[in-house]
Structure 1
Amino acid sequence: MAAPSAIAGILFDKDGTLLDFDASWAPVNRRLALIAASGDAELAERLLAACGMDPATGHLAPDSLLAAGNSREIGEGLIASGASFAVDELVPLIDDLFASAAELSVPVTELQPLFARLHDRGLRLGIASSDNERSIRVTVRRFGIEEYVDFVAGYDSGHGSKPGPGMVLGFCAETGLEPRQVAVVGDNNHDLHMGRNAGAGLKVGVLSGTGSRQSLEEACDVLLNDITELESVLGAAPCAEMAHPT
């Protein structure tokens, strides 16, 4: 694990990290299931359950398809669970739904002031999501952080998908940083394992999304309630004192 002073760039996950996952995605997931079920409400509930969401409570299982999968993975899971679509028919519908949903997303905190402060510290900033790139860019524009974001990668941006290292390595190629200079911040193990596989200097888990304390503690260097605590971590020392108290 790198010391905070060695970190020169931060690569954020989007959903559950920058955005409040339940507020932003529970209605979208229900709409997705109805689309995949061609309007059959009973089938839609079965599809939600098969892909990791409790139809009654809206709770998502950590690292399930709806919590961490990309559009193609989710589409394949829905079809395997009974949706009557070909994957190449369903995936564009999912991408379109997710892009439109970005206009209604709810941030964990005010993003523009946070990104401005991190940028003013000289940090290079990026966003890597299992969502499609179009949705991420809608989010970036909507919350006024375009001037601070050096890199955007979705599952369809050509860097591979999580937990592979490609998005981190793409961020490094764009910014000139080494992986050891990068902090990866995310709410589930796909994010943290991506950081590990790329050799990221710091893996920061946040409890604001779909991951549980138990699942994240095993994969991260630092565990925070949410990204509002990140600035104090970057200014803290020594490393052994950074873990959030249990």
Structure 2
Amino acid sequence: MKIRGVLFDKDGTLIDFFGLWLEAAQKVVPEFIRRNGFSGCEDLENALYESIGICDGQVDPNGALAYKSFAEIAEDIGRVLEKYSLDFDKKRTEDQMKRMFEKAMQGEDAKIVPLAELGGLFEELKAREICIGLATADTQKSAENCMRKLGVLEYLDYLGADDGRKQPKPAPDMLLDFARQNKIQPAEVLVAGDTRNDMLFAKKAGAKSAGVLSGVSKEKDLREYADFIIPSVEEIPKLLDALEGEI
């Protein structure tokens, strides 16, 4: 079946994950401890980093920071706080995470670095009459701001994010919304992402998946789950050409 829509993950797929999220996390975790009066708890900072998938400055491709929503991250943090017998309110923690990460990623020193010449890529997809969407665990506000800063927001036919209503990936909600709004079938969608979670997201909706190696995952992490593996989203047009040739 012809691909009529490409649904992109954001971080690690369209923009550099490490320069944005890892650096933001290294600001947010100490701030979270300070703001909540947890500063006297030994080893809490390391435990919180590990809970979101950061160990010794390295990101776990299957850890929370790589793919989870803020609500899910709050749950992971809550389990750590409970072990330390510290007060935990899930909604308050989720709200704090959202606000602090948004602040860290929208500051003047935030590093929003594209992993391809996105304007050219999106222009080419539009020329092929392919719908373009974004499906991210980031908040709506942060995702829109990021795409606007990169000058590509206008190309998007759909922007799915953490809005408190749709279930996060790998639940198929955002993909089904993307397909429905653009009057295409889920099987006509190609998901491009850098995590196993993105590949499961595609599979649950009956879409195709392209794992990219520009983010947190290595080929071995994606091999079992992705229909295709490519170095970066720059290869999407070539992949589409190859798929066209199979029809």
Quote the offset at 1:98 in angstroms.
2.9
Q: Does 1:224 align with 2:230?
A: yes
Quote the offset at 1:212 in angstroms.
2.5
Aligned residues: 232
Query: What is the aligned partner in structure 1 of residue 15 from structure 2?
Result: 19
> 1:127 is matched with which residue: 126, 131, 134?
134
Amino acid at match of 1:195: A
> 1:210 is matched with which residue: 207, 213, 216?
216
Quote the offset at 1:42 in angstroms.
4.1
Quote the offset at 1:84 in angstroms.
4.4
- My pick for the range that moved more, 41-50 or 178-187, is 41-50
- My pick for the range that moved more, 155-164 or 68-77, is 155-164
Task: List per-residue Cα deviations over 1:185-229 (Å, max 9, x = no partner).
Answer: 1111111101000001x2100111122211211111110111111
Unaligned runs of 5+ in 2: none
Q: Percent identity?
A: 30
Counting only pairs closer than 5 Å after superposition, residues 160-171 of structure 1 correspond to structure 2 as 160-171=167-178
> 2:151 is matched with which residue: 135, 144, 148?
144
| Distance in 2 between residues matched to 1:155 and 1:192, nearest whole Å | 18
| Distance in 2 between residues matched to 1:199 and 1:212, nearest whole Å | 24
3-state SS, counterpart of residue 126 of structure 2: helix
Q: Is the 8 A contact 1:36 1:44 kept in 2?
A: no
- My pick for the range that moved more, 191-200 or 33-42, is 33-42
Query: What is the aligned partner in structure 2 of residue 244 from structure 1?
Result: none
Amino acid at match of 2:195: N
Unaligned runs of 5+ in 1: 240-246
Poorly superposed stretches of 4+, deviation over 4 Å: none
- My pick for the range that moved more, 118-127 or 107-116, is 107-116
Q: Is the 8 A contact 1:36 1:85 kept in 2?
A: no
- My pick for the range that moved more, 35-44 or 178-187, is 35-44
Quote the offset at 1:157 in angstroms.
5.6
Q: Is the 8 A contact 2:28 2:104 kept in 1?
A: no
Counting only pairs closer than 5 Å after superposition, residues 180-219 of structure 1 correspond to structure 2 as 180-200=187-207, 202-219=208-225
Query: What is the aligned partner in structure 2 of residue 66 from structure 1?
Result: 65
| Distance in 2 between residues matched to 1:213 and 1:147, nearest whole Å | 32
Amino acid at match of 2:192: V
Q: CA RMSD in A?
A: 1.8
Query: What is the aligned partner in structure 2 of residue 80 from structure 1?
Result: 79
Quote the offset at 1:38 in angstroms.
2.2
Query: What is the aligned partner in structure 2 of residue 93 from structure 1?
Result: 96
Counting only pairs closer than 5 Å after superposition, residues 47-66 of structure 1 correspond to structure 2 as 47-54=48-55, 56=56, 58-66=57-65
- My pick for the range that moved more, 134-143 or 79-88, is 79-88
Amino acid at match of 2:5: G
Task: List per-residue Cα deviations over 1:64-113 (Å, max 9, x = no partner).
Answer: 11111110111111121127441211212221233334432222123222
- My pick for the range that moved more, 112-121 or 15-24, is 112-121
Counting only pairs closer than 5 Å after superposition, residues 2-41 of structure 1 correspond to structure 2 as 2=1, 6-38=2-34, 40=39
| Distance in 1 between residues matched to 2:126 and 2:193, nearest whole Å | 19
Task: List per-residue Cα deviations over 1:5-27 (Å, max 9, x = no partner).
Answer: x0010000011111111111111
- In the superposition, the TM-score normalised over structure 2's length comes to 0.87
| Distance in 1 between residues matched to 2:145 and 2:88, nearest whole Å | 27
Amino acid at match of 1:17: T
